[in-house]
Amino acid sequence: MMGIFTRGGTKSRGYLTLTKLGKQKAEAFAGMGPIFTVLVSISENNSTVTEISHDTGLDPDRVRETARSLIKQGFVAVER
């Protein structure tokens, strides 16, 4: 199952990937709980929300919320 995000009222499904900015700034989030955990999971393997949740043990809603925040900040992108 792919991760689901609402963007401008439409749903997007796809894999989460780090942007160039996300790759540069990922280490700055070390020790910041779910933000760092999600970034590390994405950096190791372009993943869906479900895969990140399974790999990290975080609740899928928490992963989705964190990913949305990281997308808004420009650190993560959704690849379709």
pLDDT of residue 5: 52
- 26-74 tens-digit pLDDT: 889 898 899 999 999 999 988 899 999 999 999 999 999 999 999 999 9
Domain that residue 58 falls in: 3-79
Report the domain count for the chain.
Answer: 1
The helix, strand and coil proportions of the chain, stated in percent and rounded to the nearest 5, come to 50, 25, 25
pTM over 0.85: no
Mean pLDDT value of segment 8-35:
82
